[in-house]
Structure 1
Amino acid sequence: MPGRAKRTGDLPTMVGAEAARPLRPKDPRELGGYTLLGRLGEGGMGSVYLARDPKDTLVAVKVIRADLAGEPEFRQRFRSEVERAKQVPPFCTAEVLDADPDHESPYLVVEYVDGPSLSSVVAQRGPLTPANLHGLAIGVATALTAIHGAGVIHRDLKPSNVLLAPGTPKVIDFGIARAVEGQPGNTRTDQLIGTVAYMAPERLDTKARKALTPAADVFAWGAVVAFAGTGRTTFAADSMPAVAVRIMTSDPDLDGLSGPLRELVLAALSKDPADRPTARDLLDRLLTSGPDRALSSGELPRQAAAAAEAGSRFAVVDADPTSMQDPAPRPGGPRWAKPVAVGLGVSTVLLGGLTVALLTGALPLPAGFAADPSASPSPSASASPSPSPSPSPSASPSPSASPSASPSPSVAATPAPYLTDALAEERRWTSRADDPNGATCLFEDKSYVATTLKDWSYLCPGPKDTLTDFRFEVDAALLTKGSCAGVSYRMTAYAGYELRVCQQKITVLRRAQGDPQDGRILRELPLDKELTLGRYQRIGVQGQGAQFRFFLAGKELREIALTDATFAEGRIVIGVDTVGHTGEAPWQVRFRRAAIWASAV
């Protein structure tokens, strides 16, 4: 619950440089070109720092303790962590950006995941709703399928190691992972590394000396899902030894779970690892059962495409790529009349971490969007984000989390985006290079780059869906001076609205006559701080009826919210704009990670 002290090794729930704990006098200020800003946490192997890379992007840096760096066993464990982390597909965990195991102070640099941990969400809001719980179960099973497919056993899956990042849960901290096929590992026989409350019985029975298999992670999956659905630690007891005894001898406490998910959790918590389903089995069964919030007609091809675009070499999609383009599903469409059966048991593995968002309605709201005002949550109801990665785990069990004695107002589940596109390759947005003036829309370096050589707008071809109420998000990086990112919405031909994000100001325009190079300015907002060229900013637009809201880098721009009823529906289009003959050609904007919600909740 809010304000509860955290044990050593848990992630603090905080956001950004301002919230990180101050550096101590003995902490480094710079490491391998990274500027350390504050401490995020620490554990048995070392400390985790919030840092900025040379491009001014926030990252998380895990540094091994100085007194352990000289010990071959611990240095080898850290080296193993780096190798394991590199093998795991990045869509389901914090992406490895850099590492130097041979540095005097060995370190690992990973993506900074700005999202709350499952443990903090449950502690602050209580158990998840059935639909969100099913979505979480799918997301974590998806991650485990990819992790095990990479030949890795996580060994410390627990609620604080599941971050609910926008659009996709991330399973983090491979600090004690090891290869499925390999040597017995770097753990001495007298060591027990991990969090006891989520350990499989075979890990606790030292006399049996059973080989560790991926089934141990499946047991942890069952304990994590049970915690998320009940708000309690499944095998809670007064002491760590008592917890271990309960895991090995007692039935799990699953009061609060029901239906097929309860049966699947119970199977995952089997005492004998041979009786547990595999991660792949979990995923297949979850995709064909659960609340009536599963796939609407036509969405399975989109889900398959989303998994494929994640770039994992482990994704196997049994679908014709040409079927993944159109028509777009609309909210409220027909449900599957029978369980999804597109080769899930044979050759379809949906390994996109964003499975949870596409199938059931994501857990937290996407970055940049506030909750639906009708939900009226209090500030205390929102979980604080928990950065990544977590430090090396403590051996003590996680405390049993329970809802606050004074429950916060419930927060309505957020519908999933009906369309997501990483913009890493041609899919819903397509290449364009037919402009006589040399303007282009091309895929480069796993991103979508819009370029114009003339001082005017250029639009890139994308989805043709006509929307009324909507939400749209995309990452945009201005590459050259004078370049502006354009997000047009409710567009018909060239008529509609546009949000124009430039280095020094943001403008909202209306193009009533359909001229792409002209428009009436409805709102204009000078920026307090000039946007950095080359740095991604999350841009958001939300429309509900005649009401429009705009977002930048996770914050609502209330100064330019507006009411205008000129256009009731239309397409969403992205592109490049210029501003006042500033700079020189080419003017360029780089886009990635687009998502569309066909509602304004």
Structure 2
Amino acid sequence: MVSQPATPRSGPLRQGDPARLGRYELLGRLGSGGMGVVFLARDEAGRRVAVKVVHADLAGDDEFRRRFRSEVERARQVPPFCTAELIDADTDAPRPYLVVEYVDGPSLAQAVDEQGPLTVANLHAVAIGVATALTAIHGAGIVHRDLKPRNVLLAPGSPKVIDFGIARALEATSQNTRTGQLVGTVAYMAPERFATEPGTPLTPAADIFAWGCVVAFAGTGRTPFQGDSPAATAARILTQAPDLRGLDGPLRHLVELSLVTDPAERPTARDLLDLLIGSGAQRSAQLVEALEQQPALRRAATQMQGAATSGVHQHMAHLPAGDDAADTEITPHVVAVPGRHVQRHAQRRAGRGRRALVAVLAVLGVLTALGAGFLGVRAAGVFDGSAASPGPSATAGPSAAPAPRMSLPPGEPFIVDALTTRGQWTGTFVVGEEGSNCDVTDGALRVNRVAPGFFTCAGPEKQLSGDHTIAVTARIEQPGTCLGVWLYWSQERSYQLTACEDAFRIAVDRDGAVSYVLRDVPLAATLPVGQDVRLQVVVRDGVVRFGHDDVQVAEAPLPEADIDRGRPMIGLVSAPGDDTPPYGATFNDIEVRTLTP
């Protein structure tokens, strides 16, 4: 069934999408990610809801299903104080799904991207709303695990936090255990998330760290440990003091408290809520204005504060997350204003010396082994960090053995184009790619994008299957741009090959986002900006080899049985962690040739 867009925030259903799930009529697609697809739907009473349907590969994982059921039951206990309420779920369906309140509003990430940092009053409203939500979530025994601006929706009346807790089911699947995958977004991960010691507990304090990062982003337009790559960001989180330029007053102090390295020294969500809406020194004129302007937010915050004080939701900041947390006896907690010494903490963070260096090197090793794509540059729309990997991830560093030479076997011409004639290759425009273009000018196919993400250019409408080779001359025109080649492309799925300045990557792409990375190979020598390279691809016997100028850089199996037919595509991808557009690339002389068995 295919429908028209149900709202400006949803896209149409696609061929193969169900028309109904249980008692819910599906109206359109709201998005997709590593766990599944989110649909806009309508219940029998005509109320709009969001239905989140798990991907088929995860639905077949028994460990995922067990944890998914557990987390859904926990999520049912979260009161709807600045959270999207869980309405219904079917964890035993062939494709498990859950139904949550539909929030008709932009995400915090969208708002800041389009309008810049929030006004002072709106910033305080977000700080209060997210602290209220975390108080409710932690009180139910849940750690969010992936709190970030995309998961904060600016609903009329008060902010709403979404996608809480369910990330744990994804993080703990048997597949992820094999690959060591982390679920989350690097820029919002607490230092303890990068611990290399087995059994390191994850507590709600990790969400408090993320709260500080989210508030800093909302107030300044950047994350407090922003680096030029996920690995650089992780290193800053472990060794540097946060960059909070642009924040001031009591709210800056609370953000500083939330970003201390030791999780035991951070305030709890309830601490934050008390400090934000209490009558102490933290209650600034801006806080008063925020509460006066949004009475629904004031009611939610004060009601949640009252519920926590009465013992309905208890203090859980330093309990381990997971199955054992629910079995631990907790006593109601009345919060005192924390007296942390932020300057002492900052000096300690910056002066760890040898231990800090060892920790950073270990984390960089983990990041490299997982591939930058795993660790969530989701705000850029690529290398999605919430994805599960059903296959192994690997890397080869610049100190590895000399790369093998690469030559393309002869084959039959499928597409041979100098890319000098207009109208032969066009951009595959979708929502979110406004301002991007793909056209021949000045003797080359030029691809441009004005926001982080990707943009593909389609040539002849010819479906390719089986073994083949691709060769194309390409040039990175703007720093932070990766050259892209897509194998067997369709709107629903493809293999994505990217040649960035610092690495080559091979990944599985589903529903317009990277599902998981097959291979991530750092380059010994940087791919130069403004210089032609000849990209080369060989697909044969279920394996892809990827390189440039007769040197093989990466090789990986192609494990997805349903990705075996589609169009060859070229284009660009913003580099992981890069949010400094514009992005640009040029292409000439593409040759796609089929190989005989």
TM-score (norm 1): 0.47
Larger RCO of the pair (alpha carbons < 8 Å, separation 6+)? 1
More helix by share: 2
